[in-house]
Structure 1
Amino acid sequence: MREAEGIAHRLPGPRRLAVAGGAIVLFVAIVGGGAAAYFAAGMGPDADAVAAVEADPDITVDRTAVGTAVRDGPVTASTVGLVYYPGARVAHESYVPTAAEIVAASDRVALVVVVDAPLNLAVLAPDRADRVRERHPEVGVWAVGGHSLGGAMACRHAAENAAAYEALVLHAAYCDRDVSDSGLDVLSVLGGADGVIDAERERASRANLPADARIVKLDGVNHAGFGAYGPQRGDGPASLSPDASREAVGNATGTWLSEGGAATRSVEPRLVPDRGAWSVADRGPRSPGSAVLVVAG
């Protein structure tokens, strides 16, 4: 860059401006290209974790133009669907194992479609969920959700398209849009060992959720535990293994979805066979009437 500027300085005025301008354009292109390559490379997926899902005879994995779909049976009007936005710079297939856990935990046939976002950034595909729903018109009930930044984008999409969905699912994420009067059932799953999320902003943002939103905190699960992409910088240490973390996330999400969100209106403790216990606990500021649950790992 400096060399180009030096050459430009020795040229006549118009040519000097042209060369200097070209150098700036080249510099911006290099920086932009580097940033694009950085995000496009992404984190994950854990190939073994994805392969384990593909080897499961009870789970079907379909790769499409809009993302990767995970289901446990034929898609019909009784199927509950979840459009899922990945976290920033995380390869979307990193959430295939989590999607499989959600499907397995649901009492209904479930379909989870993890959106394939450009450059692994959900902000570049905020309305791709529309294309997912168009691809599966037979699905009777839809939810939209995501992890981290993907969850925030899901919230924004839901705020503008509330009539298209029954529910919103937040994984280690929070809403910066007011959906308190949207009519949506809302589930927010948090990791007790999450070192990445801004905890203060998450608590404050609960005012944007409906009063009966279900807030679940999973002990021993960190930020990266919501997917299969390896450790994440700045994250807290997880006491649960990656497999156990995804199982806990999948159980909390799948059981809630299979109940059609009805559980959000009850704060009664509920036992899930072989999956641990849900217990009601006060965990700080929240929307009036909402329940905060802690799930032991």
Structure 2
Amino acid sequence: MRGVLDAIARRLPERRTLAFAGGAVVLLVGLVVAGGAAYFAAGLGPDADAVAAVEADPNVSVDRMAVGTAVRDGPVTSSTVGLVYYPGGRVDHESYVPTAAEIVAASDRAALVVVVDMPLNLAVLAPDRAERVRERYPEVDAWAVGGHSLGGAMACRHAAGNAEAYDALVLHAAYCDRDVSESGLDALSVLGGADGVIDAERERASRSNLPADARIVELDGVNHAGFGAYGPQPGDDPASLSPDASRRAVGNATGTWLSERGAANRDIRSRSVSTAGSESVRSAALDVAG
């Protein structure tokens, strides 16, 4: 009996060491996970001055809700064209409020843009959150869904599985990794001519996933960060346009197109734009980060 007790006593330090080591590993993993969550939750932006300028504009209204932030230019009715907008990866959704305001301003119709607040600022964690926006505004008949960079890719995935709920898809510095070529959706892809972040080869190769009459617009002087108001982005190329001018160019290209394409019900939409190539707009001119 004494021999058995001695053997147990000799093994106790070893067991304590193993227990301590196991606990240390669990703690380390927890710290890494928590640190990663904090990193993404912090988000890039928004530019407070740019958001404040939108809030001070008497021509638009900014409504903050649990699902995100809405920018509109009047009452929401059945004639309003709506756009559900997914933010880029690790970008605070409010960074796109100034872009939303430019889209609304460029639209010839009453317009509503709802920038969705994503968990940990990652649209990949909630690709179907647009459904909550549509539920919030049941009076809107014409809906588009879109987003910037990773947000655009996730918007495309959502549209691929819910094409009947939308009239249009809007990609900003993004590309589709799902085939929506036969979805019946109108599609707009707005690219920055100075974008140093997007994988240009994959973007071009992925155009076959879009409808044949998708409109491709390239904005000279606009880089990847120019689609929002969150400051410079690592790996991006310098923009020749100012941040304000970049967002204005993006908003104009998007808002005018939504007016044309989103104005009609799907049954009577005109598909008059064919882009075998790419249209270059000169206006004075999937990536996790953005």
Structure-1-length-normalised TM-score: 0.87
State how far apart, in whole Å, the 2-side matches of 1:263 and 1:87 are.
30
Partner of 1:66: 67
Deviations 1:163-209 (A, max 9, x none): 11000000000000000011110000000000000000000000111
Partner of 2:46: 45
Q: Percent identity?
A: 81
State how far apart, in whole Å, the 2-side matches of 1:190 and 1:129 are.
23
State how far apart, in whole Å, the 1-side matches of 2:46 and 2:150 are.
17
CA contact (8 A) 1:176 1:208 kept: yes
Deviations 1:3-39 (A, max 9, x none): xxxxxxx954544443222111100110111111111
State how far apart, in whole Å, the 2-side matches of 1:265 and 1:13 are.
76
CA-CA distance at 1:265 after TM superposition? 2.6
Structure-2-length-normalised TM-score: 0.89
State how far apart, in whole Å, the 1-side matches of 2:63 and 2:276 are.
36
Partner of 1:26: 27
Taking the TM superposition and a 5 Å limit, the aligned residue runs for 1:1-297 are 12-260=13-261, 265-266=272-273, 289-296=275-282, 297=285
| One-letter identity of the residue aligned with 2:273 | S
Deviations 1:49-72 (A, max 9, x none): 000000000000000000000000
State how far apart, in whole Å, the 2-side matches of 1:11 and 1:30 are.
28
CA contact (8 A) 1:256 1:263 kept: no
CA contact (8 A) 1:213 1:291 kept: no
CA contact (8 A) 1:85 1:122 kept: yes
| One-letter identity of the residue aligned with 1:218 | L
RMSD: 1.4
CA-CA distance at 1:264 after TM superposition? 5.5
State how far apart, in whole Å, the 1-side matches of 2:258 and 2:270 are.
9
CA-CA distance at 1:107 after TM superposition? 0.5
CA contact (8 A) 1:187 1:264 kept: no
Partner of 1:6: none
3-state DSSP of counterpart to 1:57: coil
State how far apart, in whole Å, the 1-side matches of 2:124 and 2:51 are.
25
Cα–Cα, structure 1 residues 236 and 264, in superposed 2: closer, same or farther, change >3 Å?
farther
CA-CA distance at 1:263 after TM superposition? 7.2
Partner of 1:4: none
User: Structure 2: which 5+ residue stretches go unaligned?
Assistant: 1-10, 263-268, 286-290
Deviations 1:207-233 (A, max 9, x none): 111100000000000000000000000
> Could you say which structure has the larger radius of gyration?
2
State how far apart, in whole Å, the 2-side matches of 1:164 and 1:132 are.
12
Structure number with the bigger relative contact order (C-alpha 8 A, sep ≥ 6) is 2
CA contact (8 A) 2:214 2:273 kept: no
